[in-house]
Amino acid sequence: MLIVKDMCKEYPNDQGQVVRAAQHISFEVAQGKLFTLLGPSGCGKTTTLRSIAGLEKPSSGEIIVGGRVLYSSDRKIFIAPNQRDIGMVFQSYAIWPHMNVFENAAFPLRVGKVKYSKKQIEDKVLRALHAVALDGLESREATKLSGGQQQRLALARALVMEPQLLLLDEPLSNLDAKLRERMRFELKRLQRDLGITTIYVTHDQSEALALSNEIAVMKSGHIMQLGSPREIYEHP
């Protein structure tokens, strides 16, 4: 479903030097699986995720989603982010405070290129809100939601477009420990129920072990280890 092949990303820094943020990153993710990029701050997780989303243009390599080449340095292909059919949730999930729950979730449908009817929007939004267990809260002001509910609303907003790939960058990091624990299992359930192929970024090993089908352990821009949670746990 997702193939990242020998992907490198370099940034120039303020001193005119080169920062090798991602180096020779290669991995494949099968349809419906949850794949985690695990590692400390600065190891290149976000860079890898943003490259898959098309928010960064890699320096070299190849990115293929569902058989479609989204980026290839050799073939000089770069598909723009809005043409990629990929949903994203960042750690700093931005809920629109002046909109209610329904309008927050409907937002991507309203600004997209495809024009949906009122009925289509309603169907899609209610389905997405149901998936994250926010049914009945459609008309609530977004700012009146709890942290966990806002988090789920951000997720619903990514799901509403029914992307073939979902990218989650530390989506639980702004929650307190108790809520994080609960959301962890809700996320897993949701991902399994919907069968959405998901790339998950975290620095939290226990989170990675609990959620993932497969884990890539990253350090200084490299993938150091690739394996199932069991393999990673037993041979750290």
- Return d(Cα 44, Cα 85) in angstroms, integer: 23
Of the pair 10, 28, the CB lying nearest ligand ADP is at 10
Of the pair 91, 164, the CB lying nearest ligand ADP is at 91
Minimum separation from the CB atom of position 205 to ligand ADP (A): 14
Of the pair 19, 77, the CB lying nearest ligand ADP is at 19
Residue 161, class by beta-carbon neighbours within 10 Å (0-12 exposed, 13-18 middle, 19+ buried)? middle
Minimum separation from the CB atom of position 47 to ligand ADP (A): 3
Tell me how far CA of residue 72 lies from CA of 56, 58, 75, 78, in angstroms. 13, 9, 5, 7
To 10 degrees, the CA torsion angle through 156, 160, 165, 171?
-20
What is Dmax (Cα atoms) for the chain? 54
Minimum separation from the CB atom of position 17 to ligand ADP (A): 10
Of the pair 63, 137, the CB lying nearest ligand ADP is at 63
Of the pair 49, 165, the CB lying nearest ligand ADP is at 49
Q: State the DSSP code for 141.
A: B
- Contact code string over 16-55 relative to ligand ADP, x by CB under 6 A: ---x-x-----------------x-xxxxxxx--------
- For position 8 contacting ligand ADP by CB under 6 A, the verdict is no
CA-closest candidate to residue 181, choices 149, 207, 150? 207
Minimum separation from the CB atom of position 228 to ligand ADP (A): 22
- Within residues 186-205, the interface with ligand ADP by CB under 6 A covers none
Dihedral sign for Cα 227, 217, 198, 77, please.
negative
Site of interaction with ligand ADP (CB under 6 A): 11, 13, 19, 21, 39, 41-47
